[in-house]
């Protein structure tokens, strides 16, 4: 090493030593306030935003050229809630939030309002009170936001929707929330589709394809658009993925719905009240008839069901069905003038996914029938007390399922003590003599429920469910003991009477029992 370099090295060491000695004599410097949030991306998520509550595809803001830590966005906001995140795909990450939950964004200009950022609870969100076009600005250097209302919402573009099919889906419809088998409307002309049948109190929206919640849906312009005996609150609709607006049926009844896919207009006409006769149907026999059944349309060859030894109202049958139609009768009279057990609406589908709607009626007309769309081996169960049907497809070799292995089982739903909170699940107790049997005893409220093995907090885990949505639990027990373990369709048990119950899950037999104790 050269002499000059050696001298430089010693000099540097001496200076560093002197600085270290002085450092201990200095006071600690405390930086007050928030440090800048350094990020190259910023997103907003919520039903007020264009992409709704999709954490995988939230709405992106744009960094300004003057300051890369100031992000802006200009466009339509819906009335609803929103918060912001730095990355996509996780609800566990920190979110940018208002200082107080429910801080409003509306027509009044906001300038330099402080915000906070944290993960977890409390889950503060901004509340957009007025739908419209806004200019938003978030300063991540100074932790402030600004909002300017520019005008009312831009009118959505209307391009005629070209489709051969249209479905309605929701708890107000005969198919419930089964996106794999929503209820099909009748095509009247190129753009006009019609439904006439029962709607219960609840919600629905419409779609042109099945099996996917991520597509565009036909929706009202605003959430909870009311349909009642006087018609629909607002006739206009949109065809978008988000926000997840739905029509809300306030008065149950028989309606005629008409969708105009060219002009984006819906009409709703109340026809009559839904029949309230839900008394048990008394019979020692049950038969089915139709070209989908082994005996065809011959009254002399009607296919007989077997009554349960434990419950006189439960009738079951197992065998081959072909594509076609079917209905059921208590005692064939050879004239076809007797009352029949029928679906609530015509052409209610039976397929490998089950039955589109579990409810049925007992009437002479209209001549509504179930429509079998897939030939195969099926197990059909009628509950004449609760007026429900369950259908299970049995593939070759699939009748005996392997036991479900787990050391824990939980209930969730508004019928259970913990409601729909993943953090407050109701645990069942495993039988010390049989690891596949889990029991729980306590109070159930009127509502819905399902069960899970390993809750993940996101509701994306598989659940134990009834084989048909809306399976009744009440004073007489459970309408059908069969259960499935799947992520979808989102079938749930429906508790129709509040009271003390004992529930027993057998994960080897894939069954549930419900005993009403009051």
pLDDT digits (tens, 9 = 90+) for 222-235: 888 999 999 999 99
* 167-272 classified as CATH 2.60.40.3620: yes
Straight-line distance from the first to the last Cα atom of the chain, in angstroms, rounded to the nearest whole number: 96
For the cut 60, the answer to whether the pLDDT of residue 397 exceeds it is no
Average pLDDT, integer, range 361-388? 89
pLDDT at res. 155: 63
More confident residue, 20 or 510: 510
List beta partners, residue 471.
493
Query: What is the distance between the alpha carbons of residues 182 and 390, in angstroms, rounded to a whole number?
Result: 16
The CATH number of 410-516 is which of 2.60.40.3620, 2.30.110.10, 3.40.50.2000, 1.10.1060.10?
2.60.40.3620
386 and 369 in contact (C-beta within 8 Å)?
no
Q: pLDDT band at 346, cuts 50/70/90?
A: confident
Residue 154 has pLDDT above 90, yes or no: no
Mean pLDDT (the chain, rounded):
87
Does position 18 have pLDDT exceeding 60, yes or no?
Answer: no
Q: What is the pLDDT of residue 338?
A: 81
- CATH top-level class of 287-393: mainly beta
What is the reported pLDDT for 31? Answer: 52
Q: Percent of the chain scored above 70 by pLDDT?
A: 91
Check for a shared fold between 167-272 and 410-516: yes
Residue 208 is inside which H or E element, if any?
A: none
Q: Which helix (H) or strand (E) holds 72?
A: strand 70-77
The burial class, CB within 10 Å (0-12 / 13-18 / 19+), for 11 is exposed
Q: What tens digit of pLDDT does each residue of 22-50 get?
A: 444 445 555 566 899 999 999 999 988 98
Q: Does residue 458 or residue 80 have the better pLDDT?
A: 80
Average pLDDT over residues 70-89: 93
Q: 8 is written with which tokens?
A: 């430089």
Q: Kindly indicate the confidence band of residue 394, based on its pLDDT and cuts at 50, 70 and 90.
A: confident
Q: Where does residue 141 fall: left (phi above 0), alpha (psi -120 to 50 degrees), or beta otherwise?
A: alpha
Boundaries of every domain in the chain: 43-151, 167-272, 287-393, 410-516
Question: Does the structure show a pLDDT above 70 at 307?
Answer: yes
Quick one: pLDDT at residue 400?
Answer: 59
Q: Give the whole-angstrom CA distance, residue 85 versus residue 76.
A: 19
Question: Does 221 or 67 have the greater pLDDT score?
Answer: 67
The predicted pLDDT at position 240 comes to 86
Summarize pLDDT for 459-507 with one digit per residue, the tens: 777 889 998 888 999 998 998 888 888 776 788 999 999 999 999 999 9
Give the pLDDT score at 459: 79
**Does the structure show a pLDDT above 70 at 12?**
no
Q: Is pLDDT of 327 > 70?
A: yes
pLDDT at 310: 75
Average pLDDT on 299-313 reads: 87
Q: What is the dihedral of CA 276, 278, 283, 285, to 10 degrees?
A: 100
Which residues, in sequence order, are CB contacts of 310 under 8 Å at separation 6+? none
Q: What is the CATH number of domain 43-151?
A: 2.60.40.3620
Task: Tell me if the pTM is above 0.75.
Answer: no
Range of lowest pLDDT (45-49, 95-99, 113-117): 45-49
- Structure token digits, residue 446: 């009127």
The pLDDT of residue 33: 66
Select the more confidently predicted residue: 326 or 252: 326
């Amino acid at each position: 090493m050269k002499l000059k370099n050696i001298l430089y090295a010693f000099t540097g060491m001496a200076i560093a030593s002197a600085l270290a000695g002085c450092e201990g004599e200095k006071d600690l410097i405390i930086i007050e306030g928030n440090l800048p949030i350094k990020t190259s991306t910023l997103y907003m998520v919520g039903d007020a935003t264009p992409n709704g509550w999709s954490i995988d595809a939230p709405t992106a803001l744009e960094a300004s050229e003057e300051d890369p830590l100031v992000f802006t966005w200009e466009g339509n906001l819906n009335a609803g809630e929103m918060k912001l995140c730095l990355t996509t795909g996780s609800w566990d990450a920190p979110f940018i939030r208002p200082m107080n939950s429910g801080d409003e964004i509306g027509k009044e200009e906001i300038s330099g309002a402080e915000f906070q950022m944290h993960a977890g609870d409390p889950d503060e969100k901004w509340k957009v009170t007025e739908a419209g076009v806004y200019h938003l600005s978030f300063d991540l250097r100074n932790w402030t936001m600004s909002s300017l209302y520019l005008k009312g919402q831009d009118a959505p573009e209307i391009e005629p929707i070209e489709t051969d099919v249209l479905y309605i889906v929701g708890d107000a419809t005969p198919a419930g929330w089964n996106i794999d088998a929503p209820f099909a409307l009748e095509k009247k002309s190129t753009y006009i589709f019609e439904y006439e049948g029962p709607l219960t109190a609840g919600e629905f929206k419409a779609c042109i394809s099945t099996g996917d919640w991520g597509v565009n849906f036909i929706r009202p312009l605003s959430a909870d658009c009311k349909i009642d005996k006087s018609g629909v609150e607002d006739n206009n609709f949109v065809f978008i993925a988000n926000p997840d607006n739905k029509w809300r049926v306030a008065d149950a009844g028989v309606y005629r719905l008409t969708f105009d896919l060219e002009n984006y207009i819906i009409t709703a006409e109340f026809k009559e009240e839904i029949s309230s006769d839900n008394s048990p149907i008394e019979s020692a026999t049950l038969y089915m008839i139709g070209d989908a059944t082994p005996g065809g349309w011959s009254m002399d060859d009607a296919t007989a069901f077997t009554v349960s030894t434990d419950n006189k109202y439960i009738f079951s049958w197992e065998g081959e069905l072909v594509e076609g139609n079917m209905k059921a009768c208590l005692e064939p009279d050879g004239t076809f003038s007797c009352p029949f057990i029928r679906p609530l609406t015509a052409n209610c589908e039976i397929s490998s996914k089950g039955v589109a709607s579990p409810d049925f009626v007992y009437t002479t007309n209209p001549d509504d029938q179930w429509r079998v769309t897939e030939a195969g081996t099926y197990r059909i169960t009628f509950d004449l007390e609760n007026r429900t049907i369950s259908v299970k497809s049995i593939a070759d070799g699939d009748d005996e399922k392997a036991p479900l292995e787990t050391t824990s089982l939980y209930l969730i739903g508004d019928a259970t003590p913990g409601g729909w909170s993943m953090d407050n699940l109701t645990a069942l107790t495993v039988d010390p003599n049989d690891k596949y049997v889990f029991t729980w005893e306590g109070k159930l409220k009127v509502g819905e429920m399902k069960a899970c093995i390993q809750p993940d907090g996101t509701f994306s885990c598989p659940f134990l469910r009834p084989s048909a949505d809306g399976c009744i639990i009440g004073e007489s027990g459970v309408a059908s003991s069969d259960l499935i373990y799947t992520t979808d369709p989102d079938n749930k048990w429906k508790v129709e009477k509040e009271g003390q119950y004992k529930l027993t899950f057998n994960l080897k037999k894939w069954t549930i029992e419900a005993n009403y104790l009051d």
